[in-house]
Amino acid sequence: MTRRLVVVGGDAGGMSAAAQARRRASADELEVVAFERGNYTSYSACGIPYFVGGSVKDIDALIARSPEEHRANGIDVRLETEVVAIDVEARTVTARGRASVAETVEPFDDLVIATGSTPVRPNLPGIHARGIHGVQHLGDGIDLQADLVAIGDGPERCVVVGGGYVGLELAEALHDRGRAVTIVEAAAQPMDTLDPDMGALVADAIRGLGIELITGTRVEAFDVDTDGRVAAVVAGHRTIACNLVVLGLGVAPSVQLARDGGVRIGPSGGIATDARMATSVAGVWAVGDCVETHHRVSNRPVTIALGTHANKQGKVAGINITGGDARFGGVIGTAVTKICAHEVARTGLNEREAVDAGFDIATATIESTTRAGYFPGATAVTVKVVADATNGRLLGAQIVGREGAAKRIDVLATAIWNEMTVEAIQQLDLGYAPPFSPVWDPVLVAARKAAAEPTE
Ligand SMILES: Cc1cc2nc3c(=O)[nH]c(=O)nc-3n(C[C@H](O)[C@H](O)[C@H](O)COP(=O)(O)OP(=O)(O)OC[C@H]3O[C@@H](n4cnc5c(N)ncnc54)[C@H](O)[C@@H]3O)c2cc1C
């Protein structure tokens, strides 16, 4: 008998699960239906800042696999259709087309919940004004880009609310388009997933670009003009005149549908799953931004919204739904970003997180260069490592620098994943030639310092 897999959410997590299941089971064995309330499937939200900034010209370039391509592969994609309820007893979902109030009840044998996350949008005066943009899905990027074109070039300022990686990337995009840009951040430093000393380097880099950075300040309201368009951001004692605002205030897992359906939500706020991506309800799976996952260093459940996790988790669910036995290995919080020429990376736990997790920590920070010091193009890079003071195990690392800096984090992420000590890391046989690194790569120098002087 043909089984039926229903997928809710047509982006990274959901379509990875659908595609994997489709690949592993014939149409006679498995029917695969994916519901997506938007108009796109398998798109790269990660690429939106570069489309807005103009370095990616064509929005279609951000679509890894279109609905037509999925359909050609045997997945029944239903666009503009929202799943509004899950009945785990009846094993059905209720779906509603955007254009109609009519609902259909769709049976499933297996269900994948891949509803992603919801951007934080505080209920401040003026928040609904035209010109205030959240950036989450492809349509948001298209709307933002169209609005920028519509308001035309001019001296008016754009304000980015939030100095996390999405805020920074959108600030770069607006800066690249020649706009005056202000970033307003409530924390003392931008990128608060870094330690304050590393965040301070990012703050210096932002200001060095001519982007105004206001820290330690909360946005309180938006002034709106007579046409209903945003005219200013009110933050602390400042009223910052502007004609466009981008919100980058973080996201929360979208779990309402799952919760209402009786699927267990974990302590960190995401859908609880095991390593096979199975939820508390048999035959119901969850993947991507909407789930909580295991942090391999803190040993705690966390929700970290990244496309890398969504893709891997989707693949794991797709394999398990079709009779395989795959496991998602957890996360260690590795992330990279950039603002113009400045690169930022982190992995594992920062100082605060490591102390919260109960570690007795030692840290080491070093300055080096991305290439041999004499080689043209060598630029400064700062590497900070956080280690367990009792045994030297690497717990976390952060890097701030220029071209060639950020992806060095992958060496340290691999070391953390494999529970290496700083003593062992300094021995790693990494590649060296003057165009690529000094003879002692900056990550080796940081590990060496941590091993030699475990406390600062
Ligand atoms: C600007 C930006 C830059 C980013 N950059 C990076 C990066 O550089 N690296 C990285 O790893 N990650 C990055 N991310 C995060 C990454 O895009 C997400 O982690 C990833 O898209 C999560 O995939 P997902 O499938 O879980 O959720 P989503 O991509 O959010 O997809 C969920 C889908 O489900 C649909 N949906 C939700 N509810 C329903 C429903 N009830 N019925 C039908 N459809 C529904 C939504 O319309 C959506 O299309 C970035 C995100 C943004 C916004």
Reported as a single tens digit per residue, the pLDDT across 200-225 is: 999 999 999 999 999 999 999 999 99
| Ligand 1 pocket list (CB less than 6 A) | 8-14, 35-38, 45-46, 48-49, 82-83, 114-117, 135-137, 166, 254, 257, 288-289, 305-308, 310
CA–centroid distance, 62 to ligand 1, in Å, is 13
Q: Does position 41 have pLDDT exceeding 50, yes or no?
A: yes
pLDDT at 154: 75
pTM (predicted TM-score): 0.96
pLDDT at 26: 97
Phi/psi region, residue 448 (left: phi>0; alpha: psi -120 to 50; beta: rest), is alpha
What distance in Å separates the CA atoms of residue 51 and residue 61, rounded to the nearest whole number? 9
Q: Does position 259 have pLDDT exceeding 60, yes or no?
A: yes
Nearest CA to ligand 1 atom 35: 9
Q: Does position 352 have pLDDT exceeding 90, yes or no?
A: yes
What tokens does 396 get? 């976390």
pLDDT at 100: 77
Range 92-102 average pLDDT? 90
The percent of residues above 70 in pLDDT, for the chain, comes to 99
Indicate the pLDDT class of residue 448, thresholds 50, 70 and 90: very high
Per residue in 56-91, is it b (16+ CB within 10 Å) or e — as a string? beebeebbebebeebeeebbebbbebbbeebebeeb
Q: Has 242 been annotated as catalytic?
A: no
**Distance set, CA 331 to CA 118, 312, 414 (Å):** 21, 11, 11
Residue 197, H or E segment: helix 196-208
Q: Does position 453 have pLDDT exceeding 80, yes or no?
A: no
Range 382-404 average pLDDT? 98
pLDDT at 99: 80
Q: Does position 456 have pLDDT exceeding 60, yes or no?
A: no
